[in-house]
C-alpha cells in the first residue's frame, strides 16, 4: 500500500466536503467556503438560492444567513454574483447558513 493511503483523520478532525461529496467533489484547497453562484434572489420575500459548483440548488433565508466579507447585507447581493458559502442541516433540509461575497 502506498504511503498515505492508510492515514486516518485525528479524532475531532473533520474533512471539509461539499454537500453531495459522494460524487467526489470537495472544497477548493485553502478555501473556507464552498463556491457557488446566486441563481435566484427574491428581495421581497427575503429568500434566495445558491447554485453549487456541482449544479445543486441550496436555498437561504435572509433572516437565517450570516454575511461575512465586504458585503454585509443580503439586500446587496445580486443574481449571478459568485459567492462563497457554508451550509447547515435544518428540519427543512440543507440550507445556506453563511455567505461570503466580495463584490458589491
* Residue range 18-69, pLDDT digits in tens: 444 433 344 444 568 999 999 999 999 999 999 999 999 999 999 999 998 8
1 part of a folded domain: no
Query: Cell numbers at residue 59, please?
Result: 436555498
The single residue listed with the C-alpha cell 441550496 is 58
pLDDT of residue 24: 37
3 part of a folded domain: no
Q: What is the CATH number of the domain that holds 61?
A: 2.40.50.140
21 part of a folded domain: no
User: For the chain, what is the mean pLDDT?
Assistant: 78
42 part of a folded domain: yes
* Residues of the chain above pLDDT 70, percent: 69
Residue 14, pLDDT > 50, answer: no
25 part of a folded domain: no
pLDDT of residue 37: 95
Q: How far apart are CA 9 and CA 65, in angstroms?
A: 30
Asked whether the beta carbons of 60 and 96 are under 8 A apart, the reply is yes
Query: Cell numbers at residue 48, please?
Result: 434566495
Q: Give how many domains the chain has, as a whole number.
A: 1
Which residue range is the domain that position 42 belongs to? 33-100
Longest dimension (CA), the chain: 57
pLDDT of residue 103: 75
Asked whether the beta carbons of 26 and 33 are under 8 A apart, the reply is no
Amino acid at each position: 500500500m502506498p504511503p498515505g493511503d492508510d492515514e486516518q483523520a485525528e479524532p475531532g478532525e473533520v474533512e471539509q466536503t461539499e454537500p453531495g461529496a459522494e460524487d467526489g467533489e470537495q472544497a477548493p484547497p485553502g478555501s473556507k467556503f464552498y463556491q457557488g453562484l446566486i441563481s435566484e434572489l427574491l428581495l421581497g420575500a427575503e429568500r434566495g438560492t445558491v447554485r453549487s459548483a456541482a449544479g445543486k440548488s441550496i436555498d437561504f433565508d435572509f433572516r437565517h444567513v450570516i454575511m461575512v466579507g465586504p458585503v454585509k447585507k443580503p439586500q446587496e447581493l445580486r443574481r449571478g454574483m459568485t459567492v462563497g458559502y457554508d451550509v447547515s442541516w435544518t428540519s427543512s433540509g440543507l440550507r445556506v447558513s453563511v455567505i461570503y461575497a466580495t463584490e458589491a
